[in-house]
Structure 1
Amino acid sequence: MRFLILGPLEIHDDNRKLALSAAKPSRVLSLLLLNHGQVVATRTLMEELWGDNPPVSSSTTLQTYIYQLRKLLSSSCSHGAHALQTHSAGYRLQLAAGFFDLDRFTDAMNRGQREQTRGEHDKARSSLTEALGLWRGQALAGLELGPQLQARATGLEELRARTLEMRIEASLAIGLHREAVGELRMLTAAEPYREGLASQLMIALYRSERRSEALEVYRRLHRLFIEELGIDPSPKIRKLHEAILKNDASIDFHPQGPSSAVHLQSRVRPAQLPADIPDFICRTRELAHITSALGPQRDDHTGRPPSQIVITGMTGVGKSALAVHAAHGLRAHYPDGQLYVRLRRAGHTISPSDALGGMLQAVGFPPTAIPANLEERSHLFRSWAADRKLLVLIDDAVSANQVEPLLPAGIRSAAIITSQSAIGGLPGAETVRLSPLGTGEATQLLALLAGKRKVAAEPEAAAAISQICGGLPLAIRICAARVTRRSWSLSQMLARLADHAERLNELCTDGLDMRRDLATGLASLTRREISAFQQLGTMRADTFTTTYAACELMAGVRDTERLLDRLHEASVVQLLGENTGGEPLWHFHPLMRSYAVELAYAAKDDVRSAV
C-alpha cells in the first residue's frame, strides 16, 4: 500500500486507487501520515478538525473517523488494520519503508544535497530531479486544511522550492546555464519575491552572454521590493548585481568536477567572453587596429610569436569594454574557443598559477589532472593550445610576469590584454593606448545612455557634464544612470557635479564607483609616488612641465622626471607632448586631480590629528 500527499491525497493498493469517503477522515489520515511512527495527540487531531471550538461529540466523532480509516486500511491487506494503533494519548500510524512519497522525496533530496556538497553535481542533479518528480501538484491539494495541516503544507512547499533551487544550482555547476533560462523565467514569474530564483536567473543569463537581460532581472526585482515592500533586496543579490555590472570573473562558469556536461561543452570549445557591450560606440580607429592585427588579415605562416594586443589607459577609460567588443568581433576567426581571465578582483591580484588552474578547468581538465606548480600548469596549457586557434582575453593585468605564463604558444592563437600600467617585455605585443573621449564623443555616449531627447533639450548641460567627466566613459555612464534612475534633468545632474569637493561622491551608483576605481589605479604605486601624486594634484595648473613639478616637489629635475615617467606608466598622469622649448608637458585628468586633492587633504588631517 502506497500513500501519496505530494499533490492530492491518494492511497494506492497495487494498481488500485482506494477512495476516501469524506474530507475530515482524509485530514486525520494526512496528519497521521505526516507524523507516521509518532503518536499524534488526540487534542492535536481535534484542533485540526474543529479549531478551538470542538463540538460536544468531538471525541466520539474522532473515534468514528479512526474506525473508518482502519476499515479502509484492512480492506487492502491483512495487517492493514494493525498499522493504525491506539495509545493513551492519541494515535500512531506505522508505515513500512518506501511506501510514503514524502519519505522517498526526503531521501532523494538528502542524497542530492550530500552529492552536491561532495562536488558530484551530475549525480546531485539526478537525485534532486528524482525527488521533484514525486510531486504531482501542491501538497494535499483539494483538501480543506486546518491550522496543523496548513503549517505542514506550507513547510513542504518551502522544502520543494529549496530542492528546486538546489537542482538548478547543480545544473549551473555543470554548465547547463542556457538550458536553465526558460525554466527560471517561468519560476520567477510565479514567485517574483523569491530572491534565490532571481539570482539563479541572473547567473544563467550572464553566463549565456545575455548580460543586459541579467541586469534587467535585478532592476525589476529592485523596483518590486521598493514599491511593494518598501525595502531593498538582500545584500547577497545586490553583490551579485554589482559583480555582473563589473563583469566579475567570479561568476563566470568554472567547471567544478569531472561531469559529463563539462567534458562535452568545455573540453571541445570554451566560450568564456563576457557579454558584448550593447551600447559600444566610438573607438573606431582603435577597434580597426585590433581587428586588423588579430583578424583574418593576419598571416598565420610567418613563424612570428603569437600576436598580443595590450590596451592601456587610465581607470574608467573603457579598456575592458573595447577588449570585450573587439574579442566578440573576432570570435569567428578563433573557432577553437575563447578564454577569459580577470587578474585583479576587488583590489586583490590573482596569481598566474590560480588563473591557469581556472583556465585548465575551463577547457575540460578535471582538478585531479591539473599540476600543482605554475611551470607545469603553463606547459600543460601550452601543449593543449599548441595546435588550436584560440583567443585569450586577459583583463586588468598588472605586470608582464603575471601575463606571460597565460599566453598560448601556438602561432595561430592570439591574446588581448588590458592593463592600466604599460606592460613591456611581451614578445610580439603591440600597445593601444586609450585617451579619454573628446567632448563630442562623450556627449554622444551620454545621449545613448541617458536618452537623445534629454541631450537635445539641454545640449549645453550635456557638453558641460562631458567636460567635467573629462570624457571618461565610466563617469559618463554613472551620470547617465543617475539621471535615468532619478528622472533628473541634465541641469540637475550638472548642479550636483559643480562642487569640486563633492564631485566624486556624486559619481557613484549601482555598484559603479569612480573613487573606488581611481583608488584601485594607484595600487601599483609606491608610497613616494603616491605622495608626489598628492602634492602635484594640489597645484593650480592642470598642465605642467617637469621643471614646474620639480619646484612643487622640491626635488631635482631628473628625480622628478623619473617620478612622472612612473606616474605616466601607471596612467595616473598623461603626457601631452612637448612645449616650444622641447620640455615634456604633463596633464592631470580632472577626476584624477580631484582624487589627488582628496588624498592630500586627508593626509593633512591625519597629521593634525596625530599632533
Structure 2
Amino acid sequence: MKFRILGSVSTVANGLVKPLDGSRQRTLMAVMLINAQQVVTKDQFFAEVWGDRLPTAPDNALQAVVMRVRKVLAAEFGERFARERLVTLPDGYAMEIDPDEIDGHLFQRLTAEAKALVHQDPAAARELFAQALGLWQGPVLQGVTGGLICEGAVAQFEENRLAAAEARMQLDIPVLGYASVISELRKMVSLYPWRERLFELLMICLYETGRQAEAVQVYNYLRRRLIEEFGMEPSPNVQKCMMAILHQEPSIGQLERIC
C-alpha cells in the first residue's frame, strides 16, 4: 500500500506514513486517488480545489499544485514514479496506480469479497470484514476541504464502513457470543443515532443475554427520538424485533439478515 485516504491523505513509503501538507495538495491528491486510473478534468479540479474562488489564472494555479504533489511523490517514491504515475493529459490528470495501492480501494475490494462469502464461509467473511475495517485510521479524507467529488466519496465510504461494521459484529456473535458486541454496539448507536439496524442488533444482543428490560429501553429511546425529531415510527424490522422481544420468541436470535 502506498497511499491512505481512510484518515489523513498520506503517502506510505518504507512503512512510514506521511500526511500531505497543504490543503490544496491534499485535495488534489484525494481527488486523484478516489478516481485512480481515471481522468480527472481541469474543471473538476477547479471545483474541488478552489470552489467558487477560482484564481485569476486557474490553469497556472493548477499546474503549480500538481508540481508540488509531484515533488512529494518524487521524494517518497522516486522521480520515475512521480513522472509515470501522475500523468498529464490534454483534458486533465490521472493517477495511474494499482487501486490496491490505495487503502480506500482495498477496503472496497475486501468488503465486496466478504459479502460474497457471508453465507458460504462466514468465518472467512468475518476475517475479511475485520481486515477491511482495520484499514481505517480516522475519518475518511480527514483535513480535505473538497467539493462534490470529495463530499460524495466521504458519504459513500462512511456508509460502506458502517455496513461492514454491522456485518462484522453480526458475524462475531456465533463465534464470541451476544455479550461480546454489546459494548461496541452501545458506542455505535451513540455515534450514529439514526442507524436503526444498530439499535436492532443491540436489542437482540441484550435480549439474548437475559436483559429484556434493557432491550425494551433501547427501543423506547429510539422510538421517542424518531417521533420527536421526525414524527415517524421505527422501521418495520425494528418494530418486528420489539414484538418478538415482548413475546419472548426464541427465533429472535437467528440473526438472518446480514449485509
Q: 1-side partners of 2:25 and 2:99: how far apart?
A: 23
Q: Secondary structure at the match of 1:212?
A: helix
CA contact (8 A) 1:202 1:215 kept: yes
- Contact (CA 8 Å) 2:9, 2:20: kept in 1 or not? no
Shift of 1:149: 1.1
Distance 1:16 1:114, change over 3 A: same
Unaligned runs of 5+ in 1: 256-611
- State the match for 2:94 in structure 1: 92
User: Matched residues in 2 for 1:176 and 1:14: separation?
Assistant: 39
> Contact between 1:105 and 1:131, CA under 8 Å: does it hold in 2?
yes
Indicate the percent of aligned positions where both proteins have the same amino acid. 30
- Equivalence for 2:27: 27
Q: 1:141 maps to which residue?
A: 142
1:121·1:171 contact (CA, 8 Å) conserved in 2? Answer: no
1:70 CA drift (Å): 1.8
Tell me the residue number matched to 2:246. 245
What are the Cα deviations for residues 232-255 of structure 1, in whole angstroms up to 9, with x where unaligned?
A: 111111111111111122213589
Please give the alpha-carbon distance, in whole angstroms, between the structure 1 residues aligned to 2:191 and 2:18: 33
Quick one: distance in 2 between partners of 1:175 and 1:248?
22
Q: Which residue of 1 aligns with 2:219?
A: 218
Q: Displaced runs of 4+ in structure 1, greater than 6 A?
A: none
* Residue in structure 2 matched with residue 153 of structure 1 by the alignment: 154
Q: Distance in 2 between matches of 1:213 and 1:253?
A: 19
Shift of 1:110: 1.4
SS at match of 1:98: helix
Partner in structure 2 of residue 73 of structure 1: 73
Q: Structure 2 CA distance, aligned partners of 1:137 and 1:63?
A: 30
Q: Please name the residue that 2:60 is paired with.
A: 60
TM-score, structure 1 length as denominator?
0.40
Counting matched residue pairs gives 254
1:107 to partner: Cα distance: 2.0
Distance 1:251 1:18, change over 3 A: closer
CA distance in 1, matches of 2:155, 2:253: 35
Determine the structure 2 residue equivalent to 1:202. Answer: 203
- Using structure 2 for the length normalisation, give the TM-score: 0.91
- 2:118 corresponds, among 116, 126, 130, to 116
Secondary structure, aligned partner of 2:93: strand
Q: Which residue of 1 aligns with 2:133?
A: 132
| Higher share of residues assigned helix | 2
CA deviation vs aligned residue, 1:190-233 (integer Å, no higher than 9, x gap): 11111010000011111111111111110100000001111111
**Residues 70 and 205 of structure 1: is their aligned pair in 2 closer, same or farther, counting only changes over 3 Å?**
same
Whose RCO is larger (CA < 8 A, sep 6+)?
Answer: 2
1:137 shift after superposition:
0.9
The equivalent of 1:449 in structure 2 is none
Q: Which whole-Å CA distance do the structure 2 matches of 1:243 and 1:154 have between them? A: 33
Residues 328-371 of structure 1 show CA distances to partners (whole Å, capped at 9, x for unaligned) of xxxxxxxxxxxxxxxxxxxxxxxxxxxxxxxxxxxxxxxxxxxx
Q: Rg: which structure is higher? A: 1
Residues 484-514 of structure 1: per-residue CA shift (max 9 Å, x gap) = xxxxxxxxxxxxxxxxxxxxxxxxxxxxxxx
Aligned partner of 1:47 in structure 2 is: 47
User: Which shifted more, 58-67 or 141-150?
Assistant: 141-150
1:143 Cα offset (Å): 2.8
Structure 1 residue 97: Cα displacement: 5.1
Residues 266-345 of structure 1: pairs in structure 2 closer than 5 A: none
Contact in 1 for aligned 2:36/2:99 (Cα 8 Å): no
- Structure 2 match to 1:171: 172
Return the letter of the residue paired with 2:8: P
Looking at structure 2, the residues matched to 219 and 97 of structure 1 have their Cα atoms a distance apart, in angstroms, of 44
Task: Say if 1:169 and 1:111 are closer, same or farther in 2 by CA, change over 3 A.
Answer: same
8 Å contact kept, 1:207–1:253: no
Structure 1 residues 168 and 254: alpha-carbon distance in aligned structure 2, compared to 1, 3 A threshold: closer
Does the CA-based 8 Å contact 2:9-2:29 persist in structure 1? no
8 Å Cα contact 2:185/2:198 also seen in 1: yes
- Please state whether the residue corresponding to 2:3 is helix, strand or coil: strand
- The code of the aligned residue for 1:202 comes to M
Contact 1:37 / 1:93 at 8 angstroms: preserved in 2?
A: yes
Aligned residue identity for 2:112 = N
C-alpha separation between the residues in 2 aligned to 1:57 and 1:212? 65
Give the 3-state SS of the residue equivalent to 2:157 in structure 1: helix
